[in-house]
Amino acid sequence: MRWSRYFLYTLRDNPADAEVISHQLLARAGMIDKLAAGIYTYLPPGWRSIDKLMRIVREEMNAAGAVELVMPCIQPAELWQESGRWQAYGKELLRIKDRHEREFCFAPTAEEVITDTVRRRVTSYRQLPVNLYQVHTKFRDEIRPRFGLMRGREFLMKDAYSFHASAASLEEAYRAMEHAYRRIFDRCGLRYTAVEADTGNIGGSESHEYMVLADTGEDAVVACACGYGANLEKATTGRIAEMPAWPGQIPSAPEAVHTPGTSSVPDVAAFLHLQEPHLIKTMIFETDQEFVVALVRGDDEVNEIKLKNALGCTHLQLAAEAKVEQVSGGAMGYSGPVGLRGVRLVADPEVMRMPVAATGANRGDYHLVGVVPGRDFAADLVVDLRQARVGDPCPRCGSPLEIRRGIEVGHIFKLGTKYSKAMECHYLDAQGGVNPMIMGCYGLGLGRTVAAAVEQNHDEHGIIWPRPLAPFEAEVIALNPDDATVGQTAERLYGELQSAGVEVLFDDRDERAGVKFNDADLVGFPVRVVVGKKNAEQGLVELSLRRDRVKTPTPIADAAAKVRELLEQA
RNA sequence: CGGGGCGUAGCUCAGCCUGGUAGAGCACACGGUUCGGGACCGUGUGGUCGGAGGUUCAAAUCCUCUCGCCCCGACCA
């Protein structure tokens, strides 16, 4: 491909709205173009990268036994009503009506359609298992799209769905998908980690996320050298250290202490001459149907996802100040578990393990000191609520945990029978019994993976594509294409590389050397071939790898072969 | 949805506070010099100042409404 005949326009300035490096570089390198918030055109070179990833994904999915199909992205409301998600999904689901006022949505995912597709054909255990996938555009009406391809509203996703007659069969498919995902991300040259994850509103039991490690990642990942890894939302820890010894004796009943103007945990602890772990932190939440009081130790934070899962509710948020006062009968910042009535009390096990504590008195400017969990209040539910912290003991080996940032590029779930039950996707077993199929689903964000590759592979000059995702493997630059020797040499090399099967872009533009060099660095071709006048007259061209930018003069006759060698290292 | 900010040329922005001829750099076109790391000189093309209403002799500028976009907090591939 000749640059002069291609469609590649680089930008000198960063777009004003691009914040993260992958967004800036993809935009400046002429790979993506924003059309609306979270909605992008994949320009020709950008599409080449996406297409390359798509091929890798297809190869690995096919190798793992999955079969490709494509489902509609406009889906009828009826199916979503059948699964219950028409109500449950919320505003992220883009709902549309046709001219007859019939309701549809733009698919954010495809469990409903695939379940319908399978149930109308598969009726016997003999036809199972089935694993179907597609690569298609999805739409999620995100509250806040940002970071270019990393969090778009419209995005390309590979989504696969498997159907089974037994948990063992699902397990087999799940492991095959895990393996396929590792192969895909390994082939892309990404540094990533697979972690245990929350299943969110897709539902299901076991779930893993594939996180590309990058400081700009939106997710926090807890990791241990022993191999344990989990999304912070999900992470559990080993038993944390007991609270420090309580100063003085444990009173026979809680005492109310006047604590004017001190409502935060650090302030209260200092005022009472206690330490933060001596306090019980009381947070009041509001769900879709009730108020709930959550208790964690003073030095811990409530993990809202864990709380949400423990309650089995779909919406959860911190209660507003007025509601707090209504529920606790006291001012915000002075809530406590003692004497609360008419609300569910959910406590972290670490709280119930505290021999004695201080907490709010449900009365403005007062705290209770000497509260004994179990004696002075009882929890309706005791469940892990605490957010893991750096240095907490690993739940598997006890070593201190680390927390790192990651970009979620893939997510696999064991769905179980949530959709097959709701949508009557049944099969007959060998005994003639009717059973819901057991399902799994496996997502992988294509644009996000490409963006993640850029986050991990760039320098101050531009993108350094891993070869498998590079829009072109090599670039031939003719410095002065009008010079006969240069022009002929460049043409010759361009032809040789093409014949050798190298994906090569020929920069034949009438631009200054600096412009071409800067564009080459920005777009990030793994291998660069520069044909200049002086070198060419001596029968030489200059080869370099984008990665190290070390220039090597090479005889013209050897150049094409040498490019292929360099590509092996790129 | 709550809080903050921005919409002026293809791109990055100035002008707005204090109303009076719409600007710069880059890009683009032409001429010349230059040419291995984003050249220089000259000439030129290009803008209903996001949109609608209002105030005013006069609005990019002041007011109201609206649309779009971005940033900070709760969702997800």
pLDDT at A518 over 70: yes
Task: Give residue A206's pLDDT.
Answer: 86
Q: Which of residues 83-112 of A touch strand B (CB under 7 A)?
A: 92
Same fold, A17-236+403-454 and A472-569: no
Residues 59-78 of A with CB under 7 A from strand B: none
Is A444 near strand B, with its CB below 7 A from some atom of it? yes
* Chain B footprint positions (protein CB, under 7 Å): 1, 11-13, 25-27, 34-39, 68-77
Q: Are A263 and A287 in contact (CB under 8 A)?
A: no
Asked if A541 contacts A556 with a C-beta cutoff of 8 angstroms, the reply is yes
Going from N- to C-terminal start, the domains of chain A cover 17-236+403-454, 255-382, 472-569
Highest mean pLDDT among A11-20, A197-206, A234-243, A470-479: A470-479
Are the C-beta atoms of A310 and A381 separated by less than 8 Å? Answer: yes
Predicted local distance difference test score (pLDDT) of residue A201:
59
Residues 6+ apart with CB under 8 A from A186: none
The mean predicted confidence, pLDDT, of chain A is: 92
Neighbouring CB atoms inside 10 A of A433's CB total 10
pLDDT tens, position by position, A414-454: 999 999 999 999 999 999 999 999 999 999 999 999 999 99
Q: Which two tokens stand for residue A340?
A: 């609360």
Which distant-in-sequence residues (6+ apart) come within 8 Å of A483 by Cβ?
A533, A536
Predicted local distance difference test score (pLDDT) of residue A200: 64
| Per-residue pLDDT at A203 | 58
* pLDDT value for A204: 66
Stretch A158-187: mean pLDDT = 97
Q: How confident is the model at residue A410 (pLDDT cuts 50, 70, 90)?
A: very high
Weakest mean pLDDT among A9-23, A310-324, A552-566: A310-324
CA of A16, C1' of B57: distance in angstroms? 40
Q: Give the residue, A298 or A53, on which the prediction is more confident.
A: A53
Per the model's pLDDT, the better-predicted residue between A36 and A185 turns out to be A185
Give SS3 for A314: coil
Task: With a cut of 80, say whether residue A38 has pLDDT above it.
Answer: yes
Nucleotide nearest A409 (Cα, C1'): B77
Judged by C1' against the alpha carbon of A536, the nearest nucleotide is B36
Question: What is the per-residue pLDDT across A349-375, written as a single tens digit (0 to 9) for each?
Answer: 999 999 999 999 998 899 999 999 999
pLDDT of residue A243: 92
Residues 37-56/A with CB within 7 Å of nucleic chain B are 37-38
Q: Straight-line distance from CA A147 to C1' B77, in Å?
A: 14
Q: What is the pLDDT of residues A312-339, one digit of tens each?
A: 777 777 777 777 888 888 888 888 999 8
> DSSP per residue over A429-496, as a string?
-TTS-EEEPEEEEEEEEHHHHHHHHHHHSEETTEE---GGG-S-SEEEEESSTTSHHHHHHHHHHHHH
Give the pLDDT of residue A202. Answer: 60
CATH code, residues A255-382 = 3.90.960.10
Q: State whether the beta carbon of A321 lies below 7 angstroms from any atom of strand B.
A: no
Q: Given the cut 0.90, state whether the ipTM is greater than it.
A: yes
Quick check: A514 pLDDT over 70?
Answer: yes
Class of domain A472-569: alpha beta
Backbone angles phi, psi at A180, to 5 degrees: -60, -40
Calculate the angstrom distance between C1' of B69 and CA of A546.
35
pLDDT of residue A544 exceeding 90, the answer is yes
DSSP designation for A279: B
Share of chain A above pLDDT 90, in %: 69
Whole-angstrom distance, CA of residue A80 vs CA of residue A82: 5
| Nearest nucleic acid nucleotide to A551, CA to C1' distance | B36
Q: Per CATH, which fold does A17-236+403-454 belong to? A: BirA Bifunctional Protein; domain 2 (3.30.930)
pLDDT at position A533 is 94
Tell whether the torsion through CA atoms of A168, A169, A170 and A173 is positive or negative: positive
